[in-house]
Amino acid sequence: NQGRLRMSARVKIATLLGTNLFVGFSDTGQNELPVYDTGGGILTPAADYAGFIYNAAVGSPSTVWRGAAGKAGTDQTVTLAPAQTPTVNVWDRLEIDMNESGNLIRFGVNGKLVGVIASAGLTPTVALSAGVWAANTEAAANPVDIDWLAASAARDTGT
């Protein structure tokens, strides 16, 4: 409820096929993958979230980063333009910037604005945790490296 919630993380995927990854904010309290897609559409254990989703399940319709947000079970995605496809063992810097009301969410990849959800409607009073969540949807473990993660919000200066 501080306003201007921001996050940035630098991630690298070792094996693309079979990796489900969410980088962003979630209300799940860090105990489960907040948002994922195994090829049949987005599944959301989280009620409120905003971030990047990547899925490369066998037969998946999407192997690019997508912007996603949800409020109370209503999910939205945005196709990033230009498309942002991870490369094996290459770092991507993913950035999320949310305005004070939780409506406007901007998505940046490697320093460039690539997507916007203009009416996300996240409730500003819902506590969100920043994180990187990964799940393996195929047979072998797929490592994901995290170089750094930074999250911030507006500060009350007391004046």
Per-residue pLDDT reduced to its tens digit, 130-145: 999 887 766 667 789 9
Q: What is the pLDDT confidence band of residue 21, given thresholds at 50, 70 and 90?
A: confident
pTM: 0.88
DSSP 3-state percent helix, strand, coil across the chain (nearest 5): 0, 45, 55
Q: How does DSSP assign 138-149, residue by residue?
A: SSS---EEEEEE
Reply yes or no on whether the pLDDT at 111 is more than 90: yes
For the record, the structure tokens of 13 come out as: 């995927």
- How confident is the model over 55-73, as a mean pLDDT? 77
Distance, in Å, from the CA atom of 50 to the CA atom of 76, rounded to the nearest integer, reads 9
Distance, in Å, from the CA atom of 130 to the CA atom of 135, rounded to the nearest integer, reads 17
- How confident is the model over 13-24, as a mean pLDDT? 86
Would you state the pLDDT for residue 58? 61
Q: How far is CA 37 from CA 23, 77, 108, 146, in A?
A: 13, 12, 21, 21
- How confident is the model over 65-79, as a mean pLDDT? 86
